[in-house]
């Protein structure tokens, strides 16, 4: 999952990397033109609330954070569809499976898809020691226990 930071660090919205990459392109197109639009999504069943919506405007800070280092291949048809939706009165509507909106501190991190290098970097960021010679499973256990 990638993260769209809307208006600052407290406005974190987790969105699947592939969807976020396409959204980034459409958001850049619209905001570059000075066009505002609505982005809404349904919440997964296990989360409170049914849906959320935000108003995207050039004056509101945005930051895109991707979990995968390599950008996905972009689908021009999807970009066209999202751009057309953004121009409609309802704006862009994401599906629940593309978004996770629970507070970040309430969700465990899934380290399984991370590379060993990324796991070691995270261990260093957390101030852990003795991680440099650990295998992936040991690094995951070490980080998960934090």
Tell me the pLDDT tens digit for each residue of 56-94. 999 999 999 998 888 889 999 999 999 999 999 999 998
- HSE (side-chain half, CA atoms, 13 Å) at 19: 19
Q: Is the pTM of this model over 0.95?
A: no
CA-to-CA distance for 117 and 110, rounded, in angstroms?
Answer: 15
Based on the fold, state whether residues 70 and 131 are members of the same structural domain.
no
Based on the fold, state whether residues 87 and 127 are members of the same structural domain.
no
Residue 73, helix vs strand vs coil: coil
Based on the fold, state whether residues 39 and 69 are members of the same structural domain.
yes
Based on the fold, state whether residues 88 and 127 are members of the same structural domain.
no
Buried b (16+ CB within 10 A) or exposed e, 26-52: bbeebbeeeeebbbebbbeeebeeeee
Residue 65, helix vs strand vs coil: strand
pLDDT band (50, 70, 90) for residue 103:
very low
**In angstroms, how far is CA 96 from the centroid of its own chain?**
13
What range does the domain containing 133 cover? 111-145
Based on the fold, state whether residues 68 and 126 are members of the same structural domain.
no
Q: How much is the average pLDDT of 15-29?
A: 94
- List, in sequence order, every beta strand (DSSP E) within the chain: 2-6, 12-15, 37-42, 51-56, 62-65, 92-94, 99-100
Based on the fold, state whether residues 79 and 134 are members of the same structural domain.
no
Based on the fold, state whether residues 62 and 7 are members of the same structural domain.
yes
Based on the fold, state whether residues 43 and 62 are members of the same structural domain.
yes
Based on the fold, state whether residues 47 and 80 are members of the same structural domain.
yes
pLDDT band (50, 70, 90) for residue 36:
very high
pLDDT band (50, 70, 90) for residue 47:
low
Looking at residue 83, what is its pLDDT? 95
CA-to-CA distance for 96 and 85, rounded, in angstroms?
Answer: 17
Based on the fold, state whether residues 71 and 121 are members of the same structural domain.
no
Based on the fold, state whether residues 25 and 54 are members of the same structural domain.
yes
């Amino acid at each position: 999952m990638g993260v769209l930071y809307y208006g600052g660090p407290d406005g974190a919205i987790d969105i699947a990397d592939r969807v976020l990459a396409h959204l980034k392109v459409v958001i850049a197109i619209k905001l570059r033109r000075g066009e505002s639009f609505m982005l809404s999504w349904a919440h997964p069943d296990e989360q409170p609330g049914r849906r959320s919506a935000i108003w995207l405007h050039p004056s509101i800070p945005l930051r895109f954070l991707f979990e995968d280092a390599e950008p996905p291949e972009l689908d021009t048809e999807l970009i066209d569809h999202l751009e057309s939706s953004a121009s409609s009165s309802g704006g862009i509507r994401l599906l629940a499976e593309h978004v996770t909106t629970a507070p970040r501190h309430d969700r465990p991190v899934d380290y399984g898809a991370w590379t060993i290098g990324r796991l070691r970097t995270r261990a260093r960021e957390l101030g852990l020691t003795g991680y440099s010679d650990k295998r992936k499973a040991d690094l995951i256990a070490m980080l998960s226990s934090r």
